[in-house]
Amino acid sequence: MRWAGTYFDGETARAHRVEVEIGTGALGIYGRAGQMAVWDYETLRRVPGTSREPGMIEVTEAFGTDARLRLEERGAVRALRAAHPKVDKRRPANRSAVARALGWTGAAIGAMAFIVLVAIPALAPQIAAMIPQEREVALGGQVEDLIESVGLIGPTCTGAAGRAALDKMTAKLTDGLDLRIPVRADVVQADLINAVALPGGRVLIFEPLLKQANSADEIAGVLGHEIGHVQIGHPMEGAVRSSASAGVIGLFFGDFMGAGVMAGFAEQFMNASHTREAEREADTFAIARMTAANAGTDDMADFFVRMRDQHGEGGLFGGYMASHPSFSEREATLRRGSVGDGAEPVLTDAEWQALKRICDSAADEADADGAAD
Partner 1 sequence: MTDAFLNEPRASDDIVPADTYKPRRSHKRPPLDTGFARVLFAEDRQRQVADSLQGVILKGGILSLLTLTIYRFWMKTAQRRLIWRETRLDGDGFEYTGTPLELLIGSMIAIVILAVWFGFANLGLSYLQLAAWQNFDLSIFLFPVILSPLVAFAVYRARRYKLLRTKWRGIRFAMDGSAVRYAGHWVLWTVVQILSLGLLTPHKKMALERVMTNHMLYGDARFQFDPPEGALRHLTAHWMLPWLTAMVLFALMLFGFYQADGFSGGFFASLEQQAEATGEDALALKLQAIFGMAVVPLVLVYPFYLRYKSREIAMVLSSRRLLNARCESRLTWGATFKPLTAYCGYWLLLVVPVSIALGLVMFMAFSGAMMIDGKDMSVFGGDVQPQLFDSLPAKIAVYAGLYFFYGGMVLFSLWLAGLIYFRRLHTFICRGTVVHNLVSLNQVRQRVRDDQIESEGFADALDIGGF
Alpha-carbon distance values, 71 to 1, 8, 12, 129, 346 (Å)? 14, 12, 19, 72, 91
Q: Which is nearer to partner 1, 8 or 206 (CB)?
A: 8
Torsion sign over Cα 274, 147, 330, 226: positive
DSSP 8-state code for residue 61: S
Contact 190, 154 (CB under 8 A): yes
Indicate which single residue of 175, 247, 294, 367 sits in contact with partner 1 (rule: CB under 8 A). 247
Which residues in 154-193 contact partner 1 (CB under 8 A)? none
Rule CB under 8 A: say whether 43 interacts with partner 1. no
Q: In whole angstroms, how large is the CA radius of gyration of the chain?
A: 36
Q: Which is nearer to partner 1, 143 or 161 (CB)?
A: 143
Write down the least CB distance from residue 86 to partner 1, Å: 21
Would you give the binding string for partner 1 spanning residues 71-90, x where CB under 8 A is met? --------------------
Q: How many residues bind partner 1 (CB under 8 A)?
A: 78
Indicate which single residue of 24, 90, 149, 256 sits in contact with partner 1 (rule: CB under 8 A). 256
Binding piece for partner 1, criterion CB under 8 A, among 8-16, 37-45, 222-230, 334-342: 8-16
Torsion sign over Cα 137, 241, 245, 249: negative
Rule CB under 8 A: say whether 132 interacts with partner 1. yes
- Which residue type does 14 have? R
Nearest-CA neighbor of 355 among 240, 190, 185?
185
Nearest-CA neighbor of 179 among 131, 227, 145?
227
Contact 213, 219 (CB under 8 A): yes
Write down the least CB distance from residue 259 to partner 1, Å: 6
Indicate which single residue of 248, 272, 278, 293 sits in contact with partner 1 (rule: CB under 8 A). 248
Indicate which single residue of 22, 57, 116, 220 sits in contact with partner 1 (rule: CB under 8 A). 116
Which residues in 311-370 contact partner 1 (CB under 8 A)? 311-312, 314-316
Indicate which single residue of 244, 270, 305, 332 sits in contact with partner 1 (rule: CB under 8 A). 244
C-alpha–C-alpha distance, residues 62 and 67, integer Å: 9
